[in-house]
Amino acid sequence: MIFAQDKRGAIWYFGYGGVGIDFSDVNNPTPLDNGANMATREGCTSVCDSNGALLFYSNGEFIWDSSQTPMPNGSNLSGNESATQSVLAAPVIGEDHRYYLFTVDAHENSGAKGLRYSIVDMDLEGNGTLSEPKGDIDPAHKDIMLTTGAVSEKLTIAKHKNERDYWVIVKTNSLNEYHAFLVSEEGIATTPITTSFAVSGNPRGALVASADGEMLVEADINSVNIYDFDNCTGKIKDGYLTLSTSYTYGVCFSPNDSIIYFADGIVAGKGRLFTFDRYSNDILGSVDTIAFSTIRPRAMKLGIDQKIYFTDFSSTKLIHTIQNPNDRFNPQIKDSTFVFSFPGVRYGLPNNYFPSLINIVEDKKLAINDTTICSEAPISIGLANKDSSLQYIWTNNISMDTLEGSSPLAYISQSITFHVSTVGVCSQILDKDTTTITISEELCNTQLFIPNAVSLNSDGINDYLNIIKEGDIVIDQFILYDRYGKKVFDNNHLNELRNGVLFENSALVYILTYTEKGISKIKTGSILALNNE
């Protein structure tokens, strides 16, 4: 099967000794052992460009470029390779060459270094050249603190409802609060949205968001927790589901976002996977268990080949897969998908966030012009690039047929300025604009003249029929009939009248439809075509 998608997650590095997986051939991924500079027991991240070329990878403490060399400014970061999700890479919105690198400390240090971020700029020379840069951490954006207190090892990203922004979510070390930081084109909002729960838990284990950003699932070592997330506001909704387990560390959603997989690694020396139907009316009641005799699942991650990969408590050489994760009753576990030649596989797999490359949030800028009209004339205030998926809110102090919509009809008797806002999902104001409607008494003085004869001698004088109009008049349609009642002309482009239509010494009847001061009118009459040669 061929998967049409970008390859920003095409190369993974994890564990000790530079082990990894190469998904460049998405239908035939292969093991790697060439990332020899990184050592991590748990947290890590890897980032490629959209074609699958490696850009960088990190364990949260150091960052390496595509040449397997540490970036010059890529050391002494505040992550910890012993933290479950020590590091998380995500794109800077609107800047293809820059990436955020979020880090958290380990439970061994009580998460004291908190949540921090750095920016990796791939246009910086780094270990490359000016013409072929390798990237480096921007010195002005390195290891910047976001939280004022200690955090747990749980770090993830949920997509915003507007499908462009996203939320960086971390659980505090006190284990009863979650902080959600909004990331948008303006950067990172440094004041988080906080949700508090009166629950106990464990600082270890993974926190993962569904692909649509509307659910959070948490492996809490001795339990699994499932939350509904409001990705408009950044708040976790009231109420949550929890199930006691033995040693649950990893969690992953299926490619179609409907099935939740939890890895439970220790049950009397054996392991198991829990699966839940996310859309069931009784999610906990939908649980199904996949038991193993030797495998003890730990970290889990969805590959770009639409299979779920997981590490094993029992082995430092093996990676296993769920081959058919969209079917929880027939997931097809493949034991020992990759067997590495040395004990480099540890507990973690890469943690990253790659939103769709398709910019589904198009330019929502308003396009509206100022207008001059005759007094007391109704006018439709239309937007040039209206979008049916958006709301348009108008403010005014006179009669308007609606305060919403893209083209309201206004009845005005004085010059006025209208204000309009476009409102997207989550009541987010995307743009504002104004339009000024000016009253002109000159437009009120209208005249319409149609000559009753034209000459056809091609002397350049009165050879064509011209309608003379002044003031607020718009020609809608002009129709000519010959004396037999046959239509010989039907167009509002009068310069298209030629001698082939106006027969010499012939009488024609016209019907003119026009709009005067916003009111539709009809005028009829006759025209004589003469040849004065």
pLDDT confidence band for 500 (50 / 70 / 90): very low
pLDDT confidence band for 363 (50 / 70 / 90): very low
pLDDT confidence band for 478 (50 / 70 / 90): confident
| Spatial separation of the C-alpha atoms in residues 494 and 467, rounded to whole Å | 8
On the question of pLDDT at 475 being above 90, the answer is no
Phi, psi of 53 (to 5 degrees): -80, 130
pLDDT confidence band for 468 (50 / 70 / 90): confident
Judging by beta carbons within 10 Å of its beta carbon (0-12, 13-18, 19+), is residue 513 exposed, middle or buried? middle
Phi-psi region of 97 (alpha: psi -120 to 50; beta: other; left: phi over 0): alpha
| 150 contact partners, CB below 8 Å, separation of at least 6 | 105, 110, 111, 112, 114, 172, 173, 174
| Spatial separation of the C-alpha atoms in residues 427 and 232, rounded to whole Å | 9
Phi, psi of 285 (to 5 degrees): -70, -15
| Spatial separation of the C-alpha atoms in residues 311 and 265, rounded to whole Å | 10
Q: β-pairing, 453-455 with 519-530?
A: parallel
Coil vs helix vs strand at 108 = helix
Q: Are 74 and 63 in contact (CB under 8 A)?
A: yes
Helices of type H across 265-387: none
What pLDDT does 360 receive?
40
Give the mean model confidence (pLDDT) for residues 429-445.
69
> pLDDT, tens digit, for every residue of 378-410?
666 666 556 666 777 777 656 666 667 667 777
Nearest to 356 by CA among 165, 156, 183, 188: 165
Whole-number average pLDDT of the chain:
85
Across 43-57, 249-263, 340-354, 464-478, least confident range: 464-478
> pLDDT, tens digit, for every residue of 49-59?
999 999 999 99
On the question of pLDDT at 44 being above 90, the answer is yes
Lookup result for tokens 């004396």: 483
Coil vs helix vs strand at 419 = strand
> pLDDT, tens digit, for every residue of 234-274?
999 987 888 888 889 999 999 999 999 999 887 666 899 99
Q: Retrieve residue 433's tokens.
A: 């604009």
Nearest to 251 by CA among 295, 311, 204, 301: 301
| Spatial separation of the C-alpha atoms in residues 40 and 347, rounded to whole Å | 9
Q: Are 182 and 160 in contact (CB under 8 A)?
A: yes
> pLDDT, tens digit, for every residue of 153-203?
999 999 999 888 999 999 998 888 999 999 999 999 999 999 998 666 899
Say what percent of the chain tops pLDDT 90: 53
Written as one string, the DSSP assignment of 22-46 is E-SSTTS-EEE---TT---SS--EE
How much is the pTM? Answer: 0.75
Distances (CA, A) of 84 to 59, 110, 211, 350: 11, 13, 20, 10
